[in-house]
Structure 1
Amino acid sequence: MTDSTIRILIAEDQTLVRGALATLLNFEDDFEVVATAGDGIEALALAKVHRPHVVLVDVEMPHMSGLEVVEQLHQALPDCKAIVVTTFARPGYMQRAVKAGARGYLLKDAHVEELAGAIRRIVQGGRVMSPELMMAAMEHANPLSDREAQVLRLAANGMSTRQIAMDIALTEGTVRNYLSEAISKLNASSRQEAIKLAESQGWI
């Protein structure tokens, strides 16, 4: 390893994908995969130990989502660059990843050369986003406010209005108002329909 070697951590819950990514990236002369993780909590712990230059993270992982990992990495290790590599072609996920601090968002069907090039550009200070998702994000902007999305996300997890209110320190009436606004903005007929619509776009 030299001073110019890019140290990489891979967070991916599918063992075969995780192993294949590590093998392919280790073939690059200027890359070293220093650790791999199978869930979000493990990814954060290993990142704090190994302090990689780049963390590749999937969106949906056990214990902690990739988006939560990105946000916590951005706070705990601000010099570490997070790149989301996922199968989920949902513009809302990309918007949330960027807001959380991700420097890149690529789909898993990208060629390894594309991923390697993206890693190098991001380490040098750039950003790399899937062009297809950039177009989709512009066409389907998230109409929900942060609080509306938060309340709808908690409702999607099965929490009642009362439980949501207790969890985020709001009154039940305020929570109902946020839910009502979310349902209205999504042109949905019910809370359940609003949740489905928001999930389909990756907004929650």
Structure 2
Amino acid sequence: MIKVLVVEDMHVVRAGLVALLGGQFGIEVVAQGADAEAALEAVGRTVPDVALLDIDLPGMDGIELAGELGRRVPGCRTVMLTALDRPGHVGRAFDAGASGYLLKSVSPARLAAAVRAVAAGGRVVEPPELAHDTGAPTPLTSREAEVLGLAATGATAQEIAGDLFLGVGTVRNRLSSAVGKLHARGLVDAIRIARRQGWI
């Protein structure tokens, strides 16, 4: 039996996924959650074989969550199920340790097949052409992407500094560096560019 964790912040979508996967032979949904906090609480308790994650989650996004799940439960493989088909997201997901990347337009049969394939050690991208569209490599360091991602949520430099235990000057320097590297007109433009490319 393949044990699955479903993490999706939209209740109706999550309920549909749970019902769909729960009706598949050899698959059991052992936990579900709306955000990373719920997922991290559930994973230690249920030790799933596969985690099905949305990328656009409140707080920690699904790609970061994939990396954290891999560290906490190395045997748990992750599949991203998302509407985001922008360049960069596929590459970021696999860099974080994901084993699958599927768009939400995937058929129920393909979703179940992907869960089985990933549980067996495979790697799945659906539609397949996404595997060749990982986007341009990001010019941002992981720290620059981190502070830019927090700025994108509306956090101020002071709030980011507090969250990351950094000096305000360090945060401002990293934001300024990100703006420069992206050849952006300002912070808002840098966020727009990075989001469009899937770098944050």
Normalising TM by the smaller chain, what interval? 0.7 to 0.9
Aligned length: 199
The secondary structure found in structure 1 opposite 2:199 is coil
Aligned to 1:127: 123
Aligned to 1:148: 144
Q: How does 1:18-167 map to 2 (within 5 A)?
A: 18-130=14-126, 131-138=128-135, 140-165=136-161, 167=163
Question: In structure 1, how many angstroms separate the alpha carbons of the residues matched to 2:129 and 2:197?
Answer: 14
**Does residue 7 of structure 1 match 2:3?**
yes
Alignment gaps of 5+ in structure 1: none
Q: 1:126 Cα deviation (Å)?
A: 1.6
- Pair 189,173 (structure 1): closer, same or farther in 2 beyond 3 Å: same
- 1:58-104 deviation per Cα after TM superposition (whole angstroms, max 9, x unaligned): 11223432223212211110101111101111233322222222111
The secondary structure found in structure 1 opposite 2:106 is coil
**TM-score, L = length of structure 2:** 0.86
Q: 1:11 Cα deviation (Å)?
A: 1.1
Question: In structure 1, how many angstroms separate the alpha carbons of the residues matched to 2:18 and 2:160?
Answer: 40
Contact 1:10/1:56 (8 A) holds in 2: yes
What is the RMSD of the two structures over their aligned residues, measured on CA atoms? 2.2
Question: In structure 1, how many angstroms separate the alpha carbons of the residues matched to 2:88 and 2:77?
Answer: 20
Q: 1:40 Cα deviation (Å)?
A: 2.0
Q: 1:23 Cα deviation (Å)?
A: 1.9
**TM-score, L = length of structure 1:** 0.85
Q: 1:110 Cα deviation (Å)?
A: 0.7
Q: 1:173 Cα deviation (Å)?
A: 5.0
Q: 1:169 Cα deviation (Å)?
A: 4.9
Q: How does 1:161-176 map to 2 (within 5 A)?
A: 161-165=157-161, 167-170=163-166, 172=168, 174-176=170-172
User: Percent same amino acid at aligned positions?
Assistant: 43
Q: 1:198 Cα deviation (Å)?
A: 0.8
AA aligned to 2:68 is Q
Bigger shift: 36-45 or 161-170? 161-170
Contact 1:91/1:134 (8 A) holds in 2: no
Bigger shift: 159-168 or 186-195? 159-168
Alignment gaps of 5+ in structure 2: none
Q: 1:150 Cα deviation (Å)?
A: 1.6
